[in-house]
Amino acid sequence: MICISLTSTDLDKLHKDMSRAAKLADVIEVRLDYLPDNIDIGAVLAGRPKPVIVTCRRVEDGGLYDSDDRVRISQLIRAAALGAEYIDIEVDAAREVRDVHARRIVSYHNFKTTPQNLADVQKQAIDAGADIVKIAVMANSLDDNLRVFDLLKKSQVPTAAFCMGELGTISRILGRKFGSRITYAALDRGLESAPGQLAAAELRELYRYHKIGPDTAVYGVIANPVAHSMSPAIHNAAFNEIGIDAVYLPFKVDEPVSFVNAFKAVDVQGYSVTIPHKETIMPAMDEIDATARKIGAINTVVNRAGRLFGYNTDYIAAVGELEKATELRGRKALMIGAGGGARAIAFGLVQKGVKLTVTDIASEKAQKLADDVHCSWDYIDHVRAPEVDILLNATPIGMHPKTDESPVPADWLRPETVVFDIVYNPIETRLLREARRRGCKTVSGFDMFVSQAVAQFELWTGRKAPVATMADVVRRRLTQQ
């Protein structure tokens, strides 16, 4: 069940929020600790559009209530007497609320850590007569989620268990796969009642929470930071479009090798890998595609019967998009930038017979990349784009929000030059806009970004990706910024 936890501070606002929440939630949590102390419980429950969980959370348990605990408990008892479907009471206070008509959620909250003894915590709640056990703990590492999943898999009683905080967000989505009875969500972003809560609409629409079950395959993106990644939106939409029972999650990872090894317990079927882990994740692979090994970086992991295979779809996407615009063999190309994004593209172009020159404001990086891929390099002050057939920007210059910048002057752009910009936000950079006005063929970072995701999807699933759907998702996300 999705439970929207409401933080409304007056009765009128509560009823309005309930009405909105009913469209997204299976059950609504009413937080009495946010409401006035003398609130009429009958008025709170009157006309409720969905079943409710009534709770009054103490300060030490992450709430606002700091008065007489006997008054707090009497409020919960009255809510049960007036027909509330559930009441939520902490383990240590549960003995005070026994013979009530509402179902009792007996809860444990730890805002500092995830204890080792989760099974003991669960047993205490069971012994207190819980109809549903609720365990909410703080994730200080992604591995804490695994302990929660393990508890859920072994549970013999109805249990809602999840980790709080950014590192625990995945448990709020994936807990359903392992049997968690409730996940808690906010009505809107900014209205979270606990750290790490997602907006209910995001749970329903982006992650398709109600479709997650024991057989749902798990995929995700490994990155740091990861909160603004568009990959979950792209791949979850693609899974939905062609009817694959899968969910794609954001994993905020510091140590990719230890993470991948630990999450074999979840049997993750595939990963996207992005900054800063494309190189450091490679030791975790059982096999690496020959070209990806030459590049020295992977952005895609495929799980085949427990063995992890590493690929690089960045070069596949870049070369593929350029080949739509021009013949590559024998062409002269200049690539501005020698960072991580440039590396895969450089290898791909050289493989295709392009006469490539690399330049960068950091000349030592350009020289290193040129040595690795066996191409030319030059100091950035020495290069002149009119001498080349293909001009590539592999730097962040022109990226949102600094969209008025361009890596080259407009007079470098000739009609016969193909101009490729790996920046995809905005969809049309200043460089591409000026190139189009001068009659150049252009290749956008948007096209490359979608193409690399398409190649990932097809490696994971063995099925043709819904390209139009994936492109529409990226376009909508970018235009809504």
Task: Identify the residue whose tokens are 């172009």.
Answer: 349
Residue type, 161: A
The answer to whether the beta carbons of residues 390 and 417 sit under 8 Å apart is yes
Instruction: Give the SS3 label for residue 335.
Output: strand
Query: In which element (H, E) is residue 328 found?
Result: none
d(C-alpha 92, C-alpha 71), whole Å: 16
d(C-alpha 210, C-alpha 173), whole Å: 10
Query: In sequence order, what are the residues at sequence separation of 6 or more whose Cβ sits closer than 8 angstroms to the Cβ of residue 288?
Result: 282, 298, 309, 310, 311
Instruction: Give the SS3 label for residue 316.
Output: helix
Q: What is the DSSP string of 419-447?
A: EEE---SSSS-HHHHHHHHTT-EEEEHHH
**Is the torsion defined by CA of 14, 15, 19, 22 positive or negative?**
positive
d(C-alpha 47, C-alpha 16), whole Å: 11
The set of catalytic residues is: 109, 134, 278, 314
Structure tokens at 182: 């409730």
Is the bond preceding 158 in cis, omega lying within 30 degrees of 0?
no
The answer to whether the beta carbons of residues 106 and 134 sit under 8 Å apart is yes
Structure tokens at 319: 């070369």
d(C-alpha 186, C-alpha 205), whole Å: 14
Structure tokens at 130: 């819980």
Task: Identify the residue whose tokens are 């939409």.
Answer: 237
Helix spans in 128-230 (H)? 143-154, 169-174, 200-201
DSSP category for residue 139:
-
Structure tokens at 266: 């979840």
Helix spans in 46-182 (H)? 69-81, 118-127, 143-154, 169-174
Query: In which element (H, E) is residue 221 found?
Result: strand 217-223
**Is the torsion defined by CA of 356, 357, 362, 365 positive or negative?**
positive
